[in-house]
Structure 1
Amino acid sequence: MTLIGRTRARGVESLSLDSPDTRNALSAALVGELTDALKDCAKDTGVRAIVLTHTGNTFCAGADLRDPPPPEALVALLRQIVELPRPVVARVTGHVRAGGLGLLAACDIAAASHEATFAFTEVRIGVAPAVISLPILPRTDPRALARYYLTGERFTAPEAARVGLLTTHADDVDEALAPILDGLRRSAPEALAETKALLTAKVLETFDRDAADLTALSARLFSSAQAREGMTAFLERRDPEWVV
């Protein structure tokens, strides 16, 4: 069973996270398939831009707690999106949690419907938004991010746009994306690649400087006693022992 749907229209390749039964959680298998699909797009000169979207009511629920990818694999996927010589556009019509926000931030442009909600839920299961900070921290408002990182609160699409996680939001996300995709189709491919490189240089500096440390932090926290309790509580649909 494939976990990534693929369609193409006028040079725009749509890659759809297609595991609605797991709320498109980032399993080792899904990360591997998405990595391979992006490699194909990078080699295909017929692909002018990529839309990263989803099936079901959740764009991505974060890491699959039953089959999580190694932190190194998630870092590599996020960097691959940032470095890809084609613009990557996120199209979101559902909920985004934890690691899914890393995917969102790695994309060059992100649009969401007003049905979407967002939350950094890592602290509530005993870990931290470590590797996903690589694309998030250079692109977002640090004061707002402190609130949402530390509390795990949900927030809306307008708020996600205000803090820098979204480019645009609308009742009809496809209507909002239409002029953006038209602009990408009208742009010269080499010029797009060089312009993207200008825009992502600071993000890649963060990867170069911090990826190893944040990968180690993620691995340490995921193996901690608090993470085991938090993940067990999440799967059992109860509060973890530290809730007061």
Structure 2
Amino acid sequence: MLQVDVRHGVATLTLDSPANRNALSRALRAQLRSALTEALADDAVRVIVLDHTGRVFCSGMDLAEAAGGAAEDQGVNEFPALLEQIWDSPKPVVAAVRGPARAGGLGLLAACDVVVAAATATFAFTEVRIGIVPAVISAVVLPRMVPNVAHRLLLTGEVFDAQEALAGGLVDVVVPADDVDACVREQVVALGKGAPLALGETKRLLRAARSGPLTEQFPDLLTVSARFFASEEGQEGIAAFREKRPARWVPA
């Protein structure tokens, strides 16, 4: 149900269960978690791409499995770990959304760092229309989206297009369907120019919740800044900049 391809520093994980619209069945969730664990442990992997076969990106939880079962049998307790794995990944994760995404599928893409969507893709938070609540995915969806847009779309469950998803913050780039591959490659190349440890720390800063006055935040932030200026990566990056050459971590 999942194709895994690792080459040139990129691990491409392709949802491959088109018969059930790439629904997040137990088997697909398990395979995706396992593949993510391997990609995160592989030092050769710099960027992770989440792709799909078939017309649909992901239709959400497998409702055939969920029917008549207890919450723990429906992936409700397991799905957060999968979202957290993507959200907290120190390696950037890029989603290639070529077709419709629904319910839990929106949580999957919202957890990614960069979402490239085909102009023909559609989206919907359909949970309320079948009597359930988008509770788990709200943890990754709400930080991404414009609040009033998220408010309306999660309550109405209506279908919206890629341009509205872009304006609402759910996706980052919208391109013609034929250009998705090229755009994903551009994003991967751009991400590959970043230093691995610096990318991971920058992701941590972006995900961190901050509160309080700036004067209370700056001491910790200065510590991080000083540590990376003095690090092996930082010194290599500065040397590469001064010598007008690619840094060692940039793929050839």
TM-score by length of 2: 0.77
Q: Deviations over 1:21-50 (max 9, x none)?
A: 010001111111101110001100010000
How much does 1:148 deviate? 1.0
Aligned residues: 201
Q: Please tell me whether the aligned partners of residues 23 and 58 of structure 1 are also in contact (alpha carbons under 8 angstroms).
A: yes
Q: Secondary structure at the match of 2:64?
A: coil
Q: Deviations over 1:192-234 (max 9, x none)?
A: 111111112239xxxxxxxxxxxxxxxxxxxxxxxxxxxxxxx
**1:199 match:** 206
Q: Deviations over 1:132-174 (max 9, x none)?
A: 0010111111111111111111111111011010011100112
How much does 1:70 deviate? 2.1
Give 5+ residue unaligned stretches, structure 1: 204-244
Alpha-carbon distance between aligned partners in 1 of 2:24 and 2:146, rounded to the nearest angstrom? 25
Alpha-carbon distance between aligned partners in 1 of 2:51 and 2:207, rounded to the nearest angstrom? 21
**1:135 match:** 140
Which structure 2 residues correspond to residues 1-40 of structure 1 after superposition, within 5 A?
Answer: 3-40=1-38
**1:180 match:** 187
Matched letter for residue 143 of structure 1: N
**1:190 match:** 197
Q: Deviations over 1:53-79 (max 9, x none)?
A: 100000100110112442121011001
**2:123 match:** 118
Matched letter for residue 13 of structure 1: A
RMSD of aligned residue pairs (Cα, Å):
1.3
Alpha-carbon distance between aligned partners in 2 of 1:149 and 1:9, rounded to the nearest angstrom? 38
Alpha-carbon distance between aligned partners in 2 of 1:8 and 1:70, rounded to the nearest angstrom? 28
Alpha-carbon distance between aligned partners in 2 of 1:97 and 1:179, rounded to the nearest angstrom? 26
Does the alignment pair 1:156 with 2:154?
no
Alpha-carbon distance between aligned partners in 1 of 2:65 and 2:94, rounded to the nearest angstrom? 27
Q: Which of the pair has the greater relative contact order for Cα pairs under 8 Å at 6+ separation?
A: 1
How much does 1:8 deviate? 2.4
Matched letter for residue 48 of structure 1: R
Does the alignment pair 1:92 with 2:97?
yes
Alpha-carbon distance between aligned partners in 1 of 2:170 and 2:150, rounded to the nearest angstrom? 10
Alpha-carbon distance between aligned partners in 1 of 2:205 and 2:169, rounded to the nearest angstrom? 18
Does the alignment pair 1:44 with 2:42?
yes
Q: Secondary structure at the match of 2:45?
A: coil
- Find the structure with the greater CA-based Rg: 2
Give 5+ residue unaligned stretches, structure 2: 67-73, 211-252
Alpha-carbon distance between aligned partners in 2 of 1:24 and 1:186, rounded to the nearest angstrom? 32
Alpha-carbon distance between aligned partners in 2 of 1:29 and 1:136, rounded to the nearest angstrom? 24
Alpha-carbon distance between aligned partners in 1 of 2:75 and 2:113, rounded to the nearest angstrom? 24
How much does 1:9 deviate? 3.1
Matched letter for residue 133 of structure 1: S
Q: Secondary structure at the match of 2:35?
A: helix
Matched letter for residue 89 of structure 1: V
Q: Deviations over 1:89-139 (max 9, x none)?
A: 100101100000000110011010112100000111111111000101111
Q: Please tell me whether the aligned partners of residues 169 and 176 of structure 1 are also in contact (alpha carbons under 8 angstroms).
A: no
**1:147 match:** 152
Q: Secondary structure at the match of 1:139?
A: coil
Matched letter for residue 105 of structure 1: A
